[in-house]
């Protein structure tokens, strides 16, 4: 049975972690996640939500799988997890993580792969690596530092802190905190809002942010025109330009026309 499934409702898709209560991150998790991301990538969705069944988003690695395995097995396993996570970032659509309850280590790193994190007030974010002799293994440390700054990320990981949703929002890790009963509807609403947007424009924005992540402002500036100028000829942008010109001429308020993704 798959531990992760892909669902689609209209233009919004979901990757659902479906092995509660812990949603253990093990070998099958890595395989099932990559399969689900592939399914999402060939679908018609325009936004994607990562969510979980149960009271907790996820409790981290399935450590009982590890005893008796050698370092080569472990390296391959971690590489496969990273491959699945990277496939999420490679999508050309906006992504949202919707988290509640425990968000621990490897699952924390999964949440960080999305563009936006929405958390319920029950969410807690925990790193356990300092107590195990490890460091985050799936890109979490650098992505955390990108969001909250190097010093705050260092303290969070080195001290094996657990922070609550309010603190996560305060430091810029989380976009929005809502009541637990409102998490799914809030994530669905954000997904629908993003799905109505200009997909090519969103893709360019996400690519610019990736360029900034790797090359700073100078790196993003070097790619900015190449990533953005082709948007001028897109159907969405030309429709918007025509409507802005029309409303300005007539003294009307501008309301963008529906985006079609071309």
Residues near 187 by Cβ (< 8 Å), separated by ≥ 6?
Answer: 49, 51, 96, 98, 118
129 counts as catalytic? yes
By CB atoms closer than 10 A (0-12, 13-18, 19+), residue 28 is middle
Rounded (5°) CA angle 70-73-77: 140
Residues 191 and 204 in one domain: no
Q: What residues are paired with 6 via a beta bridge?
A: 15
Residues 143 and 212 in one domain: no
Total structural domains in the chain? Answer: 2
For the chain, how many residues are written? Answer: 262
Residues 116 and 218 in one domain: no
pLDDT of the chain, 262 residues: tens digit per residue:
789 999 999 999 999 999 999 998 888 999 999 999 999 999 999 999 999 999 999 998 878 888 888 889 889 989 999 999 999 999 999 999 999 999 999 999 999 999 999 999 999 999 998 888 889 999 999 999 999 999 999 999 999 999 999 999 999 999 999 999 999 999 999 999 999 998 888 999 998 998 898 888 998 888 888 888 888 888 888 888 888 888 888 888 877 888 887 7
Q: How far apart are CA 220 and CA 227, in angstroms?
A: 10
Residues 51 and 175 in one domain: yes
Residues 181 and 232 in one domain: no
89 counts as catalytic? no
Judge whether 10 lies within some domain: yes
* Identified catalytic residue from 39, 65, 80, 109: 109
Rounded (5°) CA angle 213-217-223: 85
Pairing of strands 12-17, 47-52: parallel
Judge whether 260 lies within some domain: no
* Identified catalytic residue from 80, 129, 167, 193: 129
Angle between helices 199-228 and 235-250 (to 10 degrees): 100
CA-to-CA dists, residue 235 to 97, 201, 204, 244, 257, angstroms: 30, 11, 15, 14, 11
Residues 186 and 207 in one domain: no
Tell me phi and psi for residue 24, to 5 degrees: -50, 140
Check: CB of residue 159 under 8 Å from CB of residue 166.
no
Residues 131 and 114 in one domain: yes
* Of the residues 156, 174, 195, the one at which a domain ends: 195
Residues 102 and 126 in one domain: yes
Q: How far apart are CA 127 and CA 199, in angstroms?
A: 34
219-233 pLDDT, tens digit per residue, is 888 888 888 888 888
Question: What domain range includes position 102?
Answer: 4-195
Residues 28 and 76 in one domain: yes
Closest CA to 161 of 105, 111, 109, 116: 105
Judge whether 114 lies within some domain: yes
């Amino acid at each position: 049975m798959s531990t992760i499934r892909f669902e689609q409702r209209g233009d919004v898709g979901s990757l659902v972690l479906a092995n509660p209560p812990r949603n253990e991150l093990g070998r099958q998790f890595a395989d099932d996640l990559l399969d689900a991301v592939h399914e999402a990538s060939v679908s018609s969705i325009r936004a994607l939500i990562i969510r979980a069944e149960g009271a907790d988003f996820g409790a981290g690695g399935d450590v009982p799988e590890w005893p008796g395995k050698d370092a080569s097995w472990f390296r391959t396993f971690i590489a496969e997890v990273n491959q699945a996570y990277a496939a999420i970032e490679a999508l050309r659509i906006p992504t949202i993580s919707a988290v509640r309850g425990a968000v621990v280590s490897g699952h924390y790193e999964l949440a960080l792969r999305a563009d936006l994190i929405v958390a319920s007030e029950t969410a807690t974010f925990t790193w356990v690596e300092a107590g195990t002799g490890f460091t985050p293994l799936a890109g979490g440390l650098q992505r955390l530092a990108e969001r909250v700054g190097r010093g705050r990320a260092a303290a969070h990981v080195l001290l094996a802190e657990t922070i609550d949703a309010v603190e996560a929002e305060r430091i810029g890790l989380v976009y929005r905190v809502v009541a637990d009963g409102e998490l799914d509807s809030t994530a669905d609403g954000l997904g629908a809002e993003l799905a109505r947007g200009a997909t090519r424009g969103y893709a360019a924005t996400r690519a610019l942010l990736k360029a900034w992540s790797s090359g700073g402002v100078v790196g993003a500036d070097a790619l900015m025109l190449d990533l953005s100028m082709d948007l001028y000829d897109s159907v969405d942008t030309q429709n918007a330009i025509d409507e802005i010109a029309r409303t300005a001429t007539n003294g009307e308020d501008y309301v963008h026309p529906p985006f079609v993704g071309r």
